[in-house]
Chains A and B, each alone.
Chain A
């Protein structure tokens, strides 16, 4: 069966420090991968998605970047964190970009930038 791993679960970082959140998927090949952010008490906002190695699309301009160095690995990064980067970050995967395909989510990372 497929599983998705996301770490760390919690992260507290000072403003201006770098960020690296990692997500890996097991049990499937060539998944579509996504990074979402959830502000406190709100819905999810798509940040990045990837349909293959090295293929990254950004949905919103911001201080973050994403990379996919391997088929089942997706990394969210920042060179210098801002206070506004605080939030709950969720990695997800799906089989394909079809309207019928559901997304499977990781357990999330709570990022606090101080």
Chain B
């Protein structure tokens, strides 16, 4: 079974609007970390935001926030006030306590911000 599922291969959003990128995960570990990375066309992977499984508050980093619903095993990324520079591939990833060396990635969502 897929550990990380991103069901949106591509998304479009109007500049200055908010957008939600979906991510669901599968784990039997009680302790795990969830990450979002941005990959622009240049190829580098840029860390955006982290949510720990025991964190009660949703993580926020500037215009990025993570909508963490533990019971539903979802960790959606919300980007507020989209900018043209947000156009990129976005990956959801997970590290489980039982296999912490492995950062497992989803297949990604290509976000395009329209002017």
Give the residues in chain B near A105, CB-CB below 8 Å.
37, 44-46
With a CB–CB cut-off of 8 A, which chain A residues contact B69?
none
Within 8 A of B (CB), among A57-114: 57, 59, 88, 90, 92, 97-108, 110
User: In which size bucket is the chain A interface?
Assistant: 20 to 34
Q: List 17 A-B contacts (CB under 8 A).
A: A42-B107, A43-B107, A43-B108, A49-B101, A51-B101, A59-B102, A90-B43, A90-B45, A98-B97, A99-B33, A99-B97, A100-B33, A102-B33, A102-B35, A103-B45, A108-B43, A108-B44
| Any B CB within 8 A of the CB of A19 | no
Count chain B residues whose beta carbon lies closer than 8 angstroms to a beta carbon of A: 28
Determine the distance from Cα of A61 to Cα of B52 in the docked complex, in whole angstroms.
Answer: 31
Identify the A interface with B (CB < 8 A): 32, 34, 41-44, 46, 49, 51, 57, 59, 88, 90, 92, 97-108, 110
B77-115 interface bits toward A, Cβ cutoff 8 Å, 1 = contact, 0 = none? 000000000000001000111001111011110000000
- Do the beta carbons of A106 and B102 come within 8 Å of each other? no
**B32 CB-CB contact with A under 8 Å:** yes
B31 within 8 A of A: yes
Question: Across the interface, do B50 and A99 meet the contact criterion of CB distance under 8 Å?
Answer: no
What residues make up the interface of B, taking CB atoms closer than 8 Å to A? 4, 29, 31-33, 35, 37, 42-47, 50, 52-53, 91, 95-97, 100-103, 105-108
Once A32-B101, A42-B108 are accepted as A-B contacts, the answer to whether A107 and B52 lie under 8 Å apart by CB is no
Report whether B44 and A106 are in contact in the complex, using a CB–CB cutoff of 8 Å.
yes
